[in-house]
Amino acid sequence: MSGLNAAAADLQVTGNNIANANTTGFKESRAEFADVYAVSLSGLSQTQAGMGVRVSNVAQQFNQGNLERTESNLDLAIEGQGFFSLSSDPLATTPTLYTRAGEFKVDNEGFVVSNQGDHLLSFAPEGGTVEEGFNEGVFQPLKITTTQGEPVATSQITAGVNLDATQVKPANAPVDPNDPASYNHTSSVKIYDSLGNSHIASTYYVTEREAGVPNTANNWQAYLFIDGVAFNTDGSKPPSLATHNSYAMDFNDSGELLTTPGTITYPNIDLADVDPGLSVAPLNLTFNFSDSTQYSSEFSVQNLSQDGLPVGTLTGIDINDEGVVFARFSNGGSDILGKVALTRFVNPQGLTKAGDTSWQESIDSGTSIPGQAGTGSFGLIQSGAVESSNVDLSEQLVHLIIAQQTYQANAQSITTEKEVVQTVLNI
């Protein structure tokens, strides 16, 4: 009878493995058995036949399952050690459930949850950049922000241009955007104020080279205008164009910029001088002309960029292989929402099965060890993928046959014993 019960348990475990062959994150189990003997005060008899068999353990096998690609960025798979940390309470600061099933979605409050509604926990960022790190001691439910991407005021402008060395000083002065005869070249870039309003910052280049006049061939002046309004190098608005001062750009006889360090900062630019209706923070613009040249070729812009951003809308969520979650916005900006929290155990086979492809901590598993993907012995996270069941269906079907044979053999033992007893009774 113990053999029948053990074989039935083996069939049940194998059947459960087969039933979950396509369950995401499922880990196959193995029935483990031990023989049974009656123990007397003097110990085991040398002639004792034994009392059968018992199921000593149903051990789950935590070997890696295959990763399958999906179409959702919120589907996650762990390649290596670790479990996703879950909690049913959105206010929880510690996980209560652990899983390898990474089929996540967003609920009606913006939280990332499992199919059962449990919240995926993450580590809080310690700053606004990945380099500032994450606090492993602070768990928080991962929530997808629906706010707009904040604008960023422009502070740095890179302007790499080639100024035509064959040009001569313009006939007219001072520099006037409406008078092409008052400057040689111009370059413009869209910039942003603290509220995300866009403006056009234009630089007008004027050579000091005069035909037949020595020591002026490689000297240029750069004049700043924002939305057509002139600004001095100290950030002030000049009373008139005639008093508009400039940034001197001097080149050597090889066409390389001599001016060091090749940058200039226009501090505290008041945009109310551009539009009296604006109430924004002053701009502090640093222009970097370090890559500019003066060759005998046509004026060209090699590089013209700035670091400001307008207001943006959420366009998507990205999760890198270290579990860092970024909210991407239409303005090109991004926010760090957190870092997916992983947990591992010294003895994962000691975890208590909680159903729904999840586990709970137990005395046998040891204390939970939180950590970040890609550090220590923690595996990496694959976004847009899930870990399939680690059940080998062919192997399980073969084992099913073996378990069936074991069951039949034990049943045959009972039949044989019945026949022996019947024979004795008939004597």
Q: Residue 34 gets which letter from DSSP?
A: E
Q: How many whole angstroms separate alpha carbon 175 and alpha carbon 202?
A: 12
101 domain-assigned: yes
pLDDT computed for residue 349 by the predictor: 92
Per the structure, how many domains does the chain have?
3
114 domain-assigned: yes
292 domain-assigned: yes
* Higher per-residue confidence, 423 vs 256: 256
Same domain, 193 and 267: yes
Q: How many whole angstroms separate alpha carbon 27 and alpha carbon 359?
A: 11
pLDDT computed for residue 136 by the predictor: 85
Kindly write down the DSSP assignment for every residue of 130-172, as one continuous string. Answer: GGG-EEEEEEEE-B---SPBPPB---EEEEEEEEETT----SS
Name the token pair of 116.
């059962």
Same domain, 195 and 221: yes
311 domain-assigned: no
pLDDT computed for residue 410 by the predictor: 83
Domain range spanning residue 375? 67-147+316-387
Nearest to 14 by CA among 405, 400, 380: 400
pLDDT computed for residue 47 by the predictor: 65
Q: How many whole angstroms separate alpha carbon 329 and alpha carbon 131?
A: 20
* The pLDDT of residue 48 is above 90: no
Q: Could you say which of 306, 338, 360 is where a domain stops? A: 306
* The pLDDT of residue 42 is above 70: no
Same domain, 194 and 301: yes
Q: Half-sphere exposure (CA, 13 Å, Cβ side) for 358? A: 22
Same domain, 143 and 171: no
The helix (run of H) or strand (run of E) holding residue 217 is none
- Write down the mean pLDDT value for the chain: 91
Q: What is the pTM of this model?
A: 0.71
Same domain, 359 and 284: no
* The pLDDT of residue 74 is above 90: yes
Q: pLDDT of 281-306, one tens digit each?
A: 999 999 999 999 999 999 999 999 99
Tell me the pLDDT band of 43, cut-offs 50, 70 and 90: low
pLDDT computed for residue 164 by the predictor: 95
pLDDT computed for residue 212 by the predictor: 74
Q: Could you say which of 306, 330, 356 is where a domain stops? A: 306
- Domain with 269 in it: what CATH number? 2.60.98.20
